[in-house]
Structure 1
C-alpha cells in the first residue's frame, strides 16, 4: 500500500483557498497511487486562527468545509485537521474520511502551552480512552480516542503535542492496542536546529512502539509570526526511511512512498545558517503575498542588521525562482507581466521588490555609505541617498527655542542620538506608502533585550524580520553568507565594526562600547530569558565558564537586567517578527514581562554582595 504525507501552506479565513490546496494535494496523491493520505493538524482552518477558534461560527464553518471535502475521499482514506465545538468546549481534531464517508474524529489529548503556543486558551484536552458519538449533519459519528483499520493496517494518531509528552503520551496506549502505524499530524513552529529534535523523536517513537511512525507538519508563514517548515518524516524500528527538504515555496507538497519499503529518500539536514536564510526567505515571501503588498522598503545603513535583511530579500527572490520558476514566482506575488523579468530574473525582480535608502547625517561615515551602496548594487536593489541634517536641525532648533538653551552632547546625549534615528522614519515611511510596500524594521533580539533601539526610529516598520535572532548570530551569518551564498557585496559590511553612528565621529561610538560584548549578551539572555534564571544564578554559572574579572561580570549582569526591566515597553511595540530561534523576546509570542516593575532591585543588591 502507498502512503502519502501532504503538507499545505494555509491562511486563516481563506476558506476557498485552503480547501482547494487540500483537494489539489489529494488529487496528486491519488495520481501517485496513494491509498492513505495524511494532512497536518488544523489544516482546514490554519493553526494561527487565534481567538477565532473561540467563536461558535468558526468551527461550524470548518465542518462545512469538511463536508465539501468528503466526496474527494472516494477510493482513498484522508485525514485532515480542524476544530470541533461541543457545547462550550472546542477540541483540536483529526477527521478521517474514507470512500465518500466520514469515519470518525480523533481528539488531541495534550495542549502545547510553552513558548509560542497558547493552546489552552482555545482548546480542551480530550481524556484518554474516552469515546463518544457526535452529530455531523444528522449522522452519528465516533469521536475521541479511537483507532482505524485499512486493508489489514491498524493505525492511530498522536496529534503534535501528544507525541512530546514522554510516558504520558498516547503512543503507549496505541502500542497496547497493537497498532501497526502511528501518525503525528502537526503544526510545529520552525526553529533553527529543531529538525534534529524531531528526527530523534520519530526514530525513538518507531523503536519504542515497534511500529511504523509518520510525521507531517504544516508549511509556510501561515498568519504572520510563526513559520512552519512542512517537514515529513517516516520511520520504522528506530530508522528514518523518508525525510523531505524543509521550507518549500510551494502551495503544497505530497510525499508518496510504499508503506513497507526500506529507506526511500532522505533529504540533507542543513546547518542553522542555511535554515535561517531559507526560513526568513519563505517568511518574507508569504508575508508579502498574503498582505497583498507590492514589495519592501528598507532604510539601508550599511551596517549588519539592515544588510542582513537586504540579503534575505534577495535570497527570497533567488530561492523562490529556483523552486517555482519565473512565471509561478511572479504570479504568486501578483506580478502578471512576468516576461518583463526574463532577461535577468533575479536582479530585475530584486530591483522591482526591494527599495533601499541611505539616510545620512553629519555623524555618518563614508565607509557606511559605500557599504550600503555597494551592497544594494550587488543585489540589484533600488538605492537612494539623502541626508536628514535639515530635519534634525529643524527639530532641535524648535526645542532649543522653547527651552531657551542650546542642546549639547554632555547633557543631552540620548536626546541628540534619538532625534536622528526618529527623523529618518517619516521619509522612509513615505517611500513605503508611495510604493504600497512593507517597511522592514531592522532591530535584532540583542537590541530588544536591552532597549538599544529608538522607538519610532529603527523599530519603525511593518515587519521586523530579524527581531528574533541575536546580534552575535547576525554578525556570524553575514560572514557565512558572503562566502556560502556568493554575496560579494557583503565584503564592506563585514569589514565594519557595528555602530549606530549617532554621536560625532570623534566620540568613537560603537555598539559594544555602549552595551557590552554581543557574545556576552547571548550568554546572559539564554540563561535569563530562555532558562529563566536569576541574576545570582547567572553570575555563578558564567563566573565558572568565562575568563572575566568578577566585578566586571557583575557589572554586565546588572546592566543587562536593569536595561531589560526598563525597556519592556519597547518590546511591547516591536513590529511583528518571525520566530526563528529557540526563543524570542516578543511578549506576544514567547516571553511576557511586566511593563512596570521594581527592576530586580533586591536581586541585584544581593549580586553586589556576592
Structure 2
C-alpha cells in the first residue's frame, strides 16, 4: 500500500465526532476537505485552529479547499485553501481575491506522518479497538520512489487579516462578484457624509482597487470584466482605480434644509478621493410638495417638535425626508447611465449597519431599502475602527473626519440648544446595542436571562434598576420594530447576530411589546438586587 486518502465534507470539520479522527485511527495519511465555508468577521482563526487540530492530535496531512466568491445571495466564500501536516500549516492561499480559482501545492513527507503517529502508544491502543473504514484499492502510486529532489515544505506562519482588512476586502470582493454577474453597469450610493454611507463608499473604492490590480496583473477574466462593466473599448487602456470608480460608481448627496455644511463637504470630498461621479442634490422642493399634498387632503400642517409639533408630527416629517431619498435614489439609479450616455442600470446600495437593524432604528422604505447592502451585517463599532484604518490604508483621508463626527440622521432642524444625534434618538449607545445583539441572537437570551447576565457584567457601571430599564427599553423597541426585519435589504453576512429574517433569524416578527411576564420578573429581580 503506497498511501491512503480519505475525505470529509465542509462542516464535518467543525463537528464533535469529525470523520477525520476515525480515518486517522484507520491509518489514513491524507485527508481532504472540499468546503463551502462562508466568510464571517474573525472566523478564519477558528477555521485554521480546527484544521491544525485535525492533524495535531492524530497526525496526517489535511488538504483544505474552500469556495471563493458570492453564492448568489448574502454569503461570500473566502477561499484560503491550505495544507497542514502534523498540526502545522505548510501552505496557505489567499483569503480574499476576485479571482475564482487558486491552486495551492506542497511537497509532504508521509514518513513524517508515520513517525508522528508512532510516537505515542495510546493512539495505537485506540486504533486497534475501533472500527476500521472500508478501503478501496486503486492501482496508482501517490509517492515517487526515492526522489530526494522533492523537499518537503516547512511550516509557515498563518496569515490573518485584521477585522478592518476583512471589512475592506470581504464585502468588496462580494460587491465585484455581484456586479459582474448581475448585468448591472455600476452602483449608486446615497452618500450622506456619515459613518455608514462613508464606510460603504470606501468599500466600493476598495472593490475598484482590487479589480484594477487584478486586471493590471494580467488576469484575463478580470480584464474582460473591467472592460465589459465599465464599457471600455478593447483598444483603450485599462483604467486605474479612481478612473474605474468614476465610470461605475455614482454617489449623491440628498441634502435638505436640515443638512449641515459639514456633512455636505465630507460627502463631496470623499467622493473625489474615491473617484466617484458625484451629485449634490436638494430635496426640499419634493418634501414641500408631499407636505402640501397632505395639507390639501387634511387641512392640517405637521410641525417639527422644535416648532411646537407633537412626537407623531415630528417623526412623520423625518420619515417623509427619509422615504423621498429612497425614491429619488432609484430614479437616479435608473436614469443616470442614460444621462451620461452609457447603457445599463445602476444597483442602489444601502448602508444601514447591523445594530440599527437589530434596534429597528431606521425608517421603513428609506435609504436602508436598496438592492444590496455591504455593511448590513457589520456592527457600528467595527465600522468606526474600519474608518480610522481606511483613512490611511485605502487612501481616503476624509474618513478620519467622518469617524470623529457624532452620528446623526440630520432629519430635524438644527437649533442652538438641540442637535439631533443617533444615540440620543435611540436611548442607548451603539456599544450597548452590540452587547444586546450578541446576547439575543448568539446566546439566545430572552429579557429575563439577558437581565441576569448583564446584572453581573455591568455591575460596575449601572445599578440593577438602571440595567433593568435598559434591557426593557431594548426589548420594547426590538419587538415593536421586528416588522422592519421582513423587508431588510439583502446584506453581506459578517456577523452571527444579523437580524435579517430572510435567512439568519427565524423568530416571529410580531411580539407583545409589553412583555408582561418577563418585564414583571425583571422588576422583581431588580428590586431584590437593589
TM-score under structure 1 length normalisation:
0.72
Q: Does 1:289 align with 2:204?
A: no
Deviation at 1:495, TM superposition (A): 3.0
Structure 1 residues 265 and 332, CA, compared in 2 at 3 Å: closer, same or farther? farther
On the 8 A contact 1:153/1:180 being kept in 2, the answer is yes
Match of 1:541 in 2: 453
Note closer, same or farther for the CA distance 1:482–1:340 as it changes in structure 2 (3 Å cut).
farther
Q: Partner residue of 1:98?
A: none
Q: Is 1:536–1:606's contact at 8 Å kept on the other side of the alignment?
A: yes
Give the distance between the partners of 2:82 and 2:330, measured in 1 at CA. 44
Report the 3-state secondary structure (helix = DSSP H, G, I; strand = E; otherwise coil) of the residue aligned with 2:59: coil
3-state SS, counterpart of residue 498 of structure 1: coil
Does residue 474 of structure 1 match 2:365? Answer: no
Specify the alignment match of 2:295 in structure 1. Answer: 400
How far apart, in 2, do the equivalents of 1:259 and 1:587 lie?
A: 46
The alpha-carbon deviation at position 542 of structure 1 amounts to 2.3
Asked if residue 190 in structure 1 is aligned to residue 39 in structure 2, the reply is yes
1:124 equivalent in structure 2: none
Contact preservation (8 Å) 1:249, 1:324: no
Report the alpha carbon displacement of residue 359 of structure 1 after superposing the two structures with TM: 0.8
Superposition pairs for residues 101-116 of structure 1, below 5 Å? none
Length-normalised TM-score, structure 2? 0.83
Q: 1:360 aligns with which of 255, 277, 281?
A: 255
How far is 1:390 from its partner? 1.0
Cα distance change, pair 561–338 in 1 and its aligned pair in 2 (3 A): farther
8 Å Cα contact 2:89/2:156 also seen in 1? no
> Residue 92 of structure 2 contacts residue 104 of structure 2 at CA under 8 Å; is this kept in 1?
no
Structure 1 window deviating more from structure 2 (320-329 vs 579-588): it is: 320-329
d(CA) in 2 for partners of 1:210 and 1:309?
Answer: 44
Change (3 A) 1:309 1:340: farther
Partner of residue 464, structure 2: 550
1:338, distance to aligned residue in structure 2 (A): 6.0
Alignment partners' CA distance in 2, 1:474 and 1:171: 38
Q: Deviations over 1:451-489 (max 9, x none)?
A: 111122122211011111111221221112113333212
- Structure 1 runs not aligned, ≥5 long: 1-150
Superposition pairs for residues 21-420 of structure 1, below 5 Å? 152-166=2-16, 168-260=17-109, 261-263=152-154, 266=157, 268-325=159-216, 328=220, 329-333=222-226, 334=228, 335=230, 337=232, 342=237, 345-409=240-304, 410-411=309-310, 412-420=313-321
In 2: Cα distance, 1:606 partner to 1:475 partner = 36
- The equivalent position to 2:498 in structure 1, one of 574, 581, 584, is 584
Distance 1:467 1:217 in 2: 24
State yes or no: 1:523 paired with 2:413: no
Find the counterpart in structure 1 of residue 519 from structure 2: 604
Whole-angstrom distance in 2 between the partners of 1:336 and 1:326 = 20
* Deviates further, 243-252 or 371-380: 243-252
TM-aligned CA deviation for residue 538 of structure 1: 2.1
User: 1:322 Cα shift?
Assistant: 2.1
Counterparts of 1:338 and 1:263 in 2: how far apart (Å)? 47
Tell me which of the two structures has the higher relative contact order, counting C-alpha pairs closer than 8 angstroms and 6 or more residues apart: 2
Q: Which digits, 9 at most, give the CA deviation of each residue in 1:101-150, with x for residues without a partner? A: xxxxxxxxxxxxxxxxxxxxxxxxxxxxxxxxxxxxxxxxxxxxxxxxxx
Deviation of 1:423 after TM superposition, in Å, equals 1.1
Q: Deviations over 1:518-574 (max 9, x none)?
A: 111111111111111122222232233331243332222112111111122211111
1:441 to 350, 366, 372: 350
CA shift, 1:264, in A, is 6.2
Shift of 1:326: 7.3
Aligned partners of 2:463, 2:93: CA distance in 1, in Å?
48
Specify which of 406, 410, 414 is matched with residue 505 of structure 1: 414
1:153 alignment partner, SS class: coil
DSSP-derived class of the 1:385 partner: strand
- Greater strand share, 1 or 2? 1
Deviations 1:395-424 (A, max 9, x none): 112212322222122321111110000111
Structure 1 residue aligned with 2:148: none
Q: Does the 8 Å CA contact 2:91/2:105 hold for their aligned counterparts?
A: no
Q: Using the TM superposition, name which of 522-531 and 261-270 deviates more.
A: 261-270
**Number of equivalenced pairs:** 459
Aligned to 2:481: 567
Between the aligned partners of 2:184 and 2:367, the Cα distance in structure 1 is 21
1:363·1:503 contact (CA, 8 Å) conserved in 2?
A: yes
Q: How does 1:419-458 map to 2 (within 5 A)?
A: 419-434=320-335, 435=337, 436-458=345-367
Q: Deviations over 1:295-342 (max 9, x none)?
A: 000111010111011110000011222233277434224246267874
C-alpha displacement at 1:583, in angstroms? 3.4
For 1:591 and 1:582, locate their aligned partners in 2 and report how far apart those are by CA, in whole Å.
Answer: 10
Q: Distance in 1 between matches of 2:197 and 2:277?
A: 14
Provide the rounded CA distance (Å) in 2 between the counterparts of 1:207 and 1:500.
52
Superposed CA offset, 1:328-372 (max 9, x none) = 434224246267874861111010111011111111111110010
Cα distance in 1 for residues equivalent to 2:388 and 2:225 = 32
- 1:358 partner SS: strand
Shift of the 228–588 alpha-carbon distance from structure 1 to 2, 3 Å rule, reads same
Structure 2 unaligned runs (5+)? 110-151, 338-344
Is 1:495 aligned to residue 404 of structure 2?
A: yes
Alpha-carbon contact 1:296-1:439 (below 8 Å) kept:
yes
